[in-house]
Chain A
Amino acid sequence: MKIKVFVTPKRNVLDPQGAAVAHALESLGLAGLKGTRVGKVVELEVEGADTPAFRAQLDKLCRDLLSNPVIEDYHYEIGA
């Protein structure tokens, strides 16, 4: 199965990269921009089945390694 993990800065955490990108988007003519957050995507390919035990393991890995819960949120999509 293919998994995409999305990691984004928490809403209440300053995102200097997002602010800089927003500035550039506006200077390129994007009107009405209300927010820009820059995060990252981690793509995994794993052999096995999408079970509750696997999701528990994946959540732990997301919390421990792929994101830092002090400053980031994560969510993931699991596809075939």
Chain B
Amino acid sequence: MDIAVLQFPGSNCDQDALQLFASGLGLPTRFVWHKDTALGGADLVVVPGGFSYGDYLRCGAIARFSPVMAAVHEHASRGGLVLGICNGFQILCEAGLLPGALIRNSSLEYRCITCDLTVEDAGTAFNTRVLGRRVRLPIGHGEGNFRIDDEGLARLEAGRQVLLRYADNPNGSLRGIAGIRNEEGNVFGMMPHPDRAFERFHPSQDGLDVARAVLSVRFPELLRKSA
């Protein structure tokens, strides 16, 4: 197992994401700089939160053209696992690796709270058995309002691509959508932060199981270890 956490100028949850996998799950995890053009055989690529390139133009709009993103596209097209958290989710949407887009919260406020989320049945790609029906994760974003056209929304729902929904919608997202996967089931994106929910001083430790849910279909031994 080899996990790569990308770093863009303006990433600020890169350390948190690294610690989630390295210290939280005890897995070999390393950083990959945005100017690198290869991922060095990573099994999972994590696109962390933050404000890549100052969120100029649109959140994620500039990061998607970073050199490393060509390698991420290639990794994803070969079926490699990708997880985007917060700004990472925005980058994956901008890059076309996930459908839809994230716009300004309907309240126009930056929301920094811990949310209850319902766990959706997203098929075998996201192992909901480890998560149960509900998780609690922090959010911290001003642009987390998920938008997609009607046809795209119908396809997401029919394909069971929704991973998580807000119990109490904090940002105006369509159908309360907080996280999705691609059709193939190897690219995941979510606005809530599993990387801020694993230490004892965090508001919850549900981030560990969210990370396991992403990895466990490919690496079932992770579940046995946690049991």
Binding site for B on A (CB under 8 A): 9, 12-14, 16-17, 20, 65-66, 68, 70-71
- A44 CB to closest chain B CB (Å) equals 13
Contact among A14, A20, A66 for B103, CB-based, below 8 A:
A14
- CB pair B108 A16 closer than 8 Å: yes
Complex CA–CA separation, A71 to B147 (angstroms)? 8
B83-117 interface with A by 8 A CB criterion: 93-94, 99-101, 103-108
Scoring B residues 52 to 66 as 1 if CB is less than 8 Å from chain A, else 0, what string do you get?
Answer: 000001100110010
Across the interface, do A16 and B145 meet the contact criterion of CB distance under 8 Å?
Answer: yes
Given A65-B61, A71-B101: A14 in contact with B148 (beta carbons within 8 A)? no
Known A16-B104, A16-B105: A65·B147 in contact at CB below 8 Å = no
Complex Cα distance, B149 from A33, in Å, reads 26
Q: Give the dominant DSSP class at B's interface.
A: loop
Q: Which residue of B lies closest to A70 (CB)?
A: B101
**Is B189 part of the contact surface with A, judged by Cβ < 8 Å?**
no
Contact of B145 among A12, A14, A68, A70 (CB under 8 A): A14
B172 within 8 A of partner (CB)? yes
5 A–B contacts, CB within 8 A, in A order: A14-B103, A14-B147, A16-B108, A65-B62, A68-B61
Most buried by B among A12, A14, A16, A17: A16
- The interface residues of chain A lying within 8 Å CB-to-CB of B62 are 65
The 9 A-B pairs with the shortest beta carbon distances in the complex, nearest first, are: A70-B101, A71-B101, A16-B104, A16-B106, A16-B108, A20-B108, A68-B101, A71-B147, A68-B58
Give chain B residues whose Cβ lies under 8 Å from the Cβ of A14.
Answer: 103, 106, 145, 147, 172
